[in-house]
Structure 1
Amino acid sequence: MSNERFSSVWDAIEDTPAEAENMKLRSVLMMALKEHIARVDLSQSQAAQLFGVTQPRVSDLMRGKITLFSLDALVNMAAAAGLHVEMRVLETA
């Protein structure tokens, strides 16, 4: 067993740093959308209408099916919900 340490679970399980970064961003967006749904107390069908997607798509979001969502789709859903998305780019050591 390896004692290698990772800063993120995505760094540990993804094959490349690029894939890990993509998954990190998607997971942050998915959590923000789920929190928004809970905070505003929306049903899945209300959230679907607000996000401009189908109710099964919101169900996939709520179940954390991250591989079914692109960054683009999640940013579009966040914008439709009135959320502002910001991104920072930092150099790694």
Structure 2
Amino acid sequence: MNSQNIFQMLSNDPVEFNIDALKAKLAVALVALCRDENLTQAAIAEKLQVSQPRVSNLFRGRLEKFSIDSLLSMLIRSGYKIETSFDPTNKAMPISLEVKRAAL
């Protein structure tokens, strides 16, 4: 197997691969944003409205404990918004997501 993507090496199911890849991208972004704030895990948990053990699981990469919905909710609670666009003429990437700082 010549794949450079860990999810492709671990799964032959394209649905599972895409879900895992999206969860990983969301988690990496969320952890990076949280680390930039230099807060304790307890303070991050309060801001994201989750428990501190939940934040610990996120920081340890235990993505099986998270749904895409929960990761998106935490990202939004951290002060960001998700903008989506759909272009059916773009066969390579018909749906795009962009994370932006929310104007609160």
1:22 has 2:25 as partner: no
**TM-score (norm. length: structure 2):** 0.76
Bigger relative contact order, structure 1 or 2 (CA pairs below 8 A, ≥6 apart): 1
Q: In the alignment, what sits opposite 1:12?
A: 9
Corresponding residue for 2:101? Answer: none
Matches within 5 A, 1:62-81: 62-81=59-78
Normalising by structure 1, we get a TM-score of 0.84
How many Å apart are 1:87 and its aligned residue? 5.5
Q: C-alpha deviations, 1:28-56, integer Å up to 9, x for none?
A: 11111111111011110111011110000
Looking at secondary structure, tell me which structure has more helix per residue: 1
Q: Residue 6 of structure 1 contacts residue 12 of structure 1 at CA under 8 Å; is this kept in 2?
A: yes
* Compared CA separation, residues 29 and 87, structure 1 to 2 (3 A): farther
How far does residue 7 in structure 1 lie from its aligned partner after superposition?
4.8
1:5 and 1:87, CA in 2 relative to 1: closer, same or farther beyond 3 A? farther
**Larger relative strand fraction:** 2
What letter matches 1:46 in structure 2? A
Identity %: 28
Q: Distance in 1 between matches of 2:82 and 2:53?
A: 24
Q: Is residue 90 from structure 1 mapped to residue 93 from structure 2 by the alignment?
A: yes
Gapped runs of 5+ residues in structure 1?
Answer: none
